[in-house]
Chains A and B, each alone.
Chain A
Amino acid sequence: MFERRLYFHVDWLLLGAVYLLCAIGVVMIYSASGGARLYLTQLAAIALGTVALLVCLGIDYRSLADRSHLLYGFLVLLLVYVLIFGVVRGGGRRWIALPLFNLQPSEFMKIGLALVLARLFGDSRNRTPNARDLAIGGALTALPLLLIARQPDLGTAATLVPVLLAVAFVAGMRLKVAGILLAVAVVAAPIVWTVGLQDYQKGRVLTFVNPSRDPLGAGYQQIQARITVGAGGLWGKGFMKGTQGQQGFLPVAHNDFIFSVLAEEHGFIGVLAVLGLYAFVVLRTIETARLARDRLGTFLVVGALASFTFQVFYNVSMSAGLAPVKGLTLPLMSYGGSSVIASLAGIGLVLNVRMRRFTN
């Protein structure tokens, strides 16, 4: 299945950027956890992620897409299983206990959704997706979204929406339709607010708007995140020298706030370097979408890219106190096995499409 010539078409630059980000992540986890053994777990996750990447790379994406409904169905079942038998941690039932680490199916759902949506829109005979395509896509997105939201994990659930939107957009969805969807969202927002959101979720949003509303609770994290970033300065305080991350002012520094730790210890220069790497990964991926030899490839790359980009952007904003605090990881860098493995698997798909752009 892995023809020799394909090897020369692997995007080594993208792969290099990705593993550089992983490495920086490991270093920052080491620092943020004060040298604890967490970084070893992360290294193990990266190793497993590499296996996932190779698998996603090796099998022709068209074969993968053909079986995407099976993967999608399996993941939905896992999500249902998690809701019933999952491990409860930090107020959410999100994990399936595995020997090495806990598996978080919602992370993998992003890949599954990207595949199934790419197939849906790629197979469509219509030049632009019609209402039926959009309805099916919407339903395919809504099912896992609702399951994840039930955990409750609104953050991860929300990352599925960009997948649908990005794929539909690139597939040529009429802008008028996009406008209508936007209008519906605006109208729906107050309804979601009153009916759909739990009190703690409302609290987070309110606190984001006004952090001093609850300076010791949810607002605390936001204020501390901003302080952490701002205190970094141009050059940063140096490796392991950040006071905010090191002394527990910033909660879950090694996880959701890994970027804040980077900003504190390596300053604006470090931020620019890592943002540059992420931008490179994203732009390179968009280029891959453009180069793909078929619609399926384009949509698959865009779908894999969408949740990744959304999460990077959201997490970095949150790191500087620019977005409400949500349990959203920074792909590739944050501590968390499932996140790293799923992210690397997604990268594998992107590489897959790119290296097969010349094959038939």
Chain B
Amino acid sequence: MAGPPAIDRRTAAIRLTVLSAVVVAAFCALAVAFWYFQVVENATYRRMAENNHLRKLSLRAPRGVLFDRDGTLLVENRDAFTISILREHSADLDQTIHRLSAAAGVDELQVRETIRRHRGEPSYRPIVVIDDATLAQVSAVLARRLDYELPGVVVERVPTRRYPSVGLGAHVLGYVGEIGEAQMAADGLRSGSVVGQSGIEKAYNKMLMGVDGERRVKVNSVGREITTLDEVPASEGQRVRLTIDYDLQRAAEEAFHGLGYEGAAVILDPRSGEVLALVSLPAYDPNDFATGIDRATWSQLNTDRLRPLQNRAIQGRYSPGSTFKVVVAVAALEEGVITPDFTVTCRGGGTFFGRFFKCHLKGGHGTVDLRHAIEKSCNTYFYTIGNMVGVDRINKWATALGLTGRTGVDLPNESESLVPSTAWKKARTGEKWYAGETISVAIGQGQVSVTPMALASLYAAVGNGGIHYPPRLLRATNDGGGWKGVEPPAPQGVRLKPETIAALHDGLWLVVNGAGTGGRARVAGRDVSGKTGTAQVISLQGGKAAAGRTEMDLRDHGWFAFFAPRDNPEIAGVVFAEHGEHGASAAAPIARHVIETYFAKKAGLKPYPVFTPPAVPAAPAAARPVPPAGIADR
């Protein structure tokens, strides 16, 4: 074959040169692209590569352990297992969810819903789909934990709250739960953090939370850990000793259950404001919340008509009834309006401003002085002196003794107690105060509404002669360097005149130890002094009577407020028996049991007294249905 024509050769040569140029240009373009990715953008991609295979795992710090004042364990931590999905490593999320649900025996739809709820989060963050997995679930998942069967499924061990007393003192301790959106922003905490949502858990959350640790691990492409690079261990939250006395707390709750009442109780040490017991019934089991409460339990707690989540001791506001009479007495005595010997003749009531106000004793108490008016709880006497003192001075002295506003106890969401005044009514309704309204206020009805905590604080103050301390629950903390006591709060209130104190103490002593209404709180040799009270329900809620309420719901509440012993009291408090009708029959026996237990413990007498309902039991005990969410049915 002859050589190709010259012209043809030239064309080929030109075109080959063109090809060469194209090739050179293409390789240069590639080199530039690699230079850009590898040199210019290197830091970005290196970080992405690290994110690929380096994972920071949060190590949840165990929350601080809680003790009672004597060191009895109230709240501790246990290890729970959570099963999570790391979406980043789960190439086929649907398949993973399906297999995981089948392996662990959980509802697939619910798992999907959980994933959906967290879909906005970065995909390298594990989403917990099974809280508090059982050992069976954990082993079922681990057995299938092959990279290709359940990629991106992680089992983690997390410290979880345990409340060994199962509901005892639930409202003091509170409960924990996953942090909410608002909280996250406010406290700068991470999504998924477990924080206190109520009670002490919430009030001292920062102290209890500790500092989460962190572990940096190397993972492979399906998220399986290969090695741990380094680890900053979690540091446990501070240990906390509460002022609560476990034995008193239990005594109080047992007494409530023994009589079958819901309600509240607050027991204080009047010398320091320390809360020895705080009861609110019905209660809940904080353990239910520890690993994320299930929807059914949550909605049941929220819709329960008896409102088990409400802390009645600091959030319930009720008419103090006759327990309020000491405030009127203090006001009248301190303002010099009367002396303790001032007498009023009771004929079963009295007429004020053209209207007849009844005394509870139809025939009347006859002529009584202050001491006996307190002893017999004579309404007519207090109508009279209340009218003489006027509502504003009652308000003034209630405030001086700490009955208005919040007590400042270290629990979240305390309600304000209210004792009306002319200024208050003006501001509230724009109307002037009618003197006739003072008559109701004088016996603790009308607009007066107080929390059990405030009333307990009041009786601590009366026992102390006017001085009181803001109630508190924190006794000591331990951050690992030994127990440090909490600074005692500064005393508040005013020192009352000796004759005021003497008269009040005498009257309140007579209520229990004389011919008064508080006989069921008597403890031999302990000089219990106190006052019963009745908070009217029907007058306040008369309109609601028809709305499906049972006869029980319309019964009055019973109060018993006390301190003991009469001189230099060591214990003070209030018992509020919901729908107990009378303080004398419903609340006083509970208080008696607590006081008895207190002194038995102080004297070192064990076993502590067992609660026995009074010989003539209060009628409601039998009629009362079993409390739905209380401890009684456990």
Which residues of A pack against B, CB within 8 Å? 127-128, 166, 169-172, 216-217, 220, 224, 226-234, 243-244, 247-249, 263, 267-268, 271-272, 275, 278-279, 282-283, 286, 289-290, 293-295, 298, 302, 309, 313, 316-317, 320, 322
Residues of A within 8 A of B38 (CB): 229-230, 232-234, 263, 267-268, 271
Task: Judge whether B4 is part of the interface by a CB distance below 8 angstroms.
Answer: yes
Starting from the known contacts A172-B8, A317-B33, 8 additional A-B residue pairs (CB-CB under 8 Å) come to A170-B19, A171-B12, A230-B41, A243-B53, A247-B53, A271-B34, A290-B12, A316-B30
Closest to A289 in B: B16
- Does B23 lie within 8 Å of A283, measured CB to CB? yes
Closest B-chain residue to A264, C-beta based?
Answer: B49
Task: Establish whether residues B12 and A298, one from each chain, have CB atoms under 8 Å apart when the complex forms.
Answer: yes
Q: Closest approach, in angstroms, between the C-beta of A232 and any C-beta of chain B?
A: 5
Q: Which 9 A-B pairs have the closest CB atoms?
A: A230-B45, A231-B49, A248-B221, A268-B38, A230-B37, A247-B220, A249-B221, A233-B42, A279-B27
Q: How many Å from the CB of A166 to the closest CB on chain B?
A: 7
Q: Is the CB of B8 within 8 A of A320?
A: no
- Let me know if B16 and A290 touch, CB within 8 A: yes
- State A349–B34 Cα separation when bound (angstroms): 32
16 residue pairs of the A-B complex, CB under 8 angstroms, read: A227-B45, A230-B38, A230-B49, A231-B46, A231-B48, A233-B46, A247-B219, A248-B221, A249-B53, A268-B35, A279-B23, A286-B16, A293-B3, A294-B1, A313-B30, A320-B30
In contact, B27 and A234 (Cβ under 8 angstroms) = no
Chain B nearest Cβ from A213, distance in angstroms: 15
A243-B53, A248-B221 known; A231-B34 Cβ under 8 A: no
Question: Which residue from A227, A309, A317 sits with its C-beta under 8 Å from B23?
Answer: A309
- Say yes or no: B15 contacts A294, CB within 8 Å: no
Residues from chain A with a CB closer than 8 A to the CB of B219 are 247
If A294-B4, A295-B8 touch, whether A322 touches B53 (CB-CB below 8 Å) is: no
Contact (Cβ within 8 A) A286 B49: no
**Chain B neighbourhood of A275, CB < 8 A:** 27, 30-31, 34
Per the bound structure, the CA–CA distance linking A17 and B19 in Å amounts to 20
Contact in complex: A244, B33 (CB < 8 Å): no
Interface string of B6-43 (1 = CB under 8 A from A): 01100111011001100110110011011101110110
Q: Return the chain A residue nearest B87 by Cβ.
A: A216
Q: Is the interface of A mostly helix, strand, loop or mixed?
A: helix
Q: Is B197 an interface residue (CB 8 A)?
A: no
* Distance from A358 Cβ to chain B, minimum over Cβ atoms (Å): 13
CB distance from A280 to the nearest CB of B (A): 10
A244 to B5 CA separation, bound complex (whole angstroms) = 55
Min distance, Cβ B122 to any Cβ of chain A, angstroms: 12
- B39 touches which one: A127, A166, A268 (CB < 8 A)? A268
Question: A283 and B24: CB pair below 8 A?
Answer: yes
Nearest B residue (CB) for A251: B221
A320 touches B37 (CB 8 A): yes
Contact A248 B23 (CB under 8 A): no
Contacts A170-B15, A233-B42, A248-B221 known; A268 to B34 CB distance under 8 Å? Answer: yes
B367 contacts the other chain (CB 8 A) = no
Determine how close the nearest CB of chain A comes to the CB of B38; give it in whole angstroms: 4
Known: A230-B48, A243-B52, A313-B26. A286 touches B37 (CB 8 A): no
- The chain B residue with its CB closest to the CB of A166 is B19
Within the assembled complex, what's the spacing in Å between the Cα atoms of A319 and B1?
45
Distance in Å: Cβ of A194 to nearest Cβ of chain B: 29
B222 interface residue per 8 A CB criterion: yes
User: How many of B's residues come within 8 Å of A, CB to CB?
Assistant: 44
Bound-state Cα–Cα, A157 to B72, Å: 79
When C-beta atoms are compared, the residue in chain A nearest to B220 turns out to be A247
For B12, the chain A residues whose CB sits under 8 A away are: 170-172, 289-290, 295, 298
B156 to chain A, nearest CB (A): 21
Q: Find B13's partner among A166, A216, A290 (CB 8 Å cutoff).
A: A290
Cα distance, A313 to B26, chains bound together (Å) = 8
When distances are taken between beta carbons in the complex, the residues of chain B under 8 Å from A243 are 49-50, 52-53
User: Given B3, B7, B33, B45, which contacts A231 in the complex, CB threshold below 8 Å?
Assistant: B45
- Contact residues in B for A166 (Cβ distance below 8 Å): 19
List, in ascending order, chain B residues with CB within 8 A of A272's CB.
Answer: 31, 34
B610 interfacial by beta-carbon distance below 8 Å:
no
In the complex, whether B44 has a CB less than 8 A from a CB of chain A is yes
Give Cα distance in the complex from A272 to B39, angstroms: 12
Q: Is the CB of B45 within 8 A of A248?
A: no
Are A227 and B52 within 8 A (Cβ)? yes
Partner of A227, one of B19, B24, B48, B92: B48
Please determine whether A295 and B44 come into contact, CB atoms closer than 8 angstroms. no
Known: A233-B38, A295-B4. A286 touches B45 (CB 8 A): no
A269 CA to B33 CA, complexed, in Å? 13
What is the distance, in angstroms, from A33's C-beta to the closest C-beta of chain B? 15
Is B293 located at the chain interface by the 8 A CB criterion? no
- Give A275 to B30 CA distance when docked, in angstroms: 8
Across the interface, B42 reaches (CB within 8 A) one of A171, A230, A309, A317, namely A230
Instruction: State in angstroms the CA–CA spacing of A115 and B4 once bound together.
Output: 19
Are A172 and B30 touching (Cβ within 8 A)?
no
Determine how close the nearest CB of chain A comes to the CB of B45; give it in whole angstroms: 2
- Give the distance in Å from the alpha carbon of A248 to the alpha carbon of B226 in the complex: 13
The distance from the CB of B20 to the nearest CB of chain A, in whole angstroms, is: 5
B80 at the interface (CB under 8 A from A): no
Partner among A216, A232, A244, A289 whose Cβ is within 8 Å of the Cβ of B91: A216
Contact present for B49 and A172 (CB under 8 Å) = no
Closest to B10 in A: A172
Among B7, B26, B30, B33, point to the contact of A127 (Cβ < 8 A): B7
Contacts of B48 in A (CB 8 A): 227, 230-231
Cα A322 to Cα B13 in complex, Å, equals 32
User: Which among A217, A228, A298, A320 is the interface contact of B49 at CB below 8 angstroms?
Assistant: A228
Q: Are B53 and A282 in contact (CB under 8 A)?
A: no
Name which residue of chain B comes closest to A278, CB basis.
B27
Cα distance A169–B93 in the bound complex, in angstroms: 50
Nearest chain B CB to A288 CB, angstrom units? 10
Contacts of B3 in A (CB 8 A): 293-294
Between B3, B37, B44, the greatest number of chain A beta carbons within 10 A of the residue's beta carbon is seen for B37
What chain B residues lie within 8 Å of A127 (beta carbons)? 5, 7-8
Distance A286 CA – B16 CA, assembled complex (angstroms):
7
Flag if B23 contacts A229 (CB, 8 Å): no
Q: Are B39 and A169 in contact (CB under 8 A)?
A: no
Q: Which residues of B contact A170 (CB under 8 A)?
A: 12, 15-16, 19
- Docked complex Cα distance between A316 and B28 (Å): 12
> Taking A172-B11, A286-B19, A286-B23 as contacts, is the C-beta distance between A322 and B33 under 8 angstroms?
yes
With A and B bound together, what is the CA distance between A268 and B44 in angstroms?
16
* Residues in A whose Cβ lies below 8 Å from that of B44: 230
Q: Is the beta-carbon distance between A234 and B39 smaller than 8 angstroms? A: yes
Is B221 in contact with A234, judged by CB distance below 8 angstroms?
no
Q: How far is the CA of A313 from the CA of B23 in the complex (A)?
A: 9
Closest chain A residue to B48 by CB distance?
A: A227
Q: Name the distance in Å between A183's Cβ and chain B's nearest Cβ.
A: 20
User: Within the complex, what minimum Cβ distance (angstroms) separates A98 from chain B?
Assistant: 29
Bound CA–CA A229/B297 (angstroms): 53
Shortest Cβ distance from residue B163 to the other chain A in the assembled complex, whole angstroms: 42
**Alpha-carbon gap, A283 to B42, bound state (A):** 30
CB-defined contacts of B11 to chain A, threshold 8 Å: 128, 172
Which of A227, A267, A278, A317 is packed against the most chain B CB atoms within 10 Å? A227
Q: Are B49 and A248 closer than 8 Å at their CB atoms?
A: no
Known interface pairs A170-B16, A247-B221; A234-B42 also in contact (CB < 8 Å): yes
Mask: chain B, 429-464; 1 = CB below 8 Å from A; 0 = not: 000000000000000000000000000000000000
Give Cα A226–Cα B36 distance, bound, in whole angstroms: 11
Give the CA-CA distance A55 to B5 in the complex, in Å.
Answer: 31
Residue pair A169, B27 in contact (C-beta under 8 Å): no
Chain B residue nearest to A271 in the complex (CB) = B34
Contact A229 B52 (CB under 8 A): no
